[in-house]
Amino acid sequence: MTERLFVYGTLRRGSRHPWAAKLAASATCLGEARYNGRLYRITHYPGVVPSTQPDELVYGDVFELRDPEILAALDAYEGCSPDDAEPTQYLRKLQQMTLADGAVVEAWMYVYNWSLENRERIKSGRFDEVES
């Protein structure tokens, strides 16, 4: 089974975050994709929750992982490793994404798991368009 990861914030292509570079070195980017969800600004990083509304989309990149072991390191970065206290801020879940060419793929993604009260919703679905 091919391991894929959908990223929508600090891990996207073009990000200057050190973990974005680590991901890029361990994976091949398949391109931009969209996910049926709602995007929120948490602080200097985003969080996503699933949506059933067809017009609520989050945009990000799908990577095919050459080294699936990077997922354990990313779990620690995202605060959802087995060593992190429950409830973790994110949960890594398999979700369906739609690639730019219309193909639907399954990919891991980090779903936000804490309260969204008083968090700004990013209706464009693109965190890279929001000023920090």
Reported in sequence order, the residue ranges of the chain that DSSP labels E, i.e. its strands, are: 4-7, 27-41, 46-50, 57-65, 90-99, 104-112, 120-121
**pLDDT tens-place string over residues 74-125:** 999 999 999 999 999 999 999 999 999 999 999 999 999 999 999 999 999 9
Q: The tokens of 76 are what?
A: 């620690």
Domain boundaries along the sequence of the chain: 4-121
* Helix spans in the chain (H): 18-26, 70-78
Class of domain 4-121: alpha beta
pTM for this entry = 0.94
Helical packing angle, 70-78 and 18-26, nearest 10°: 160
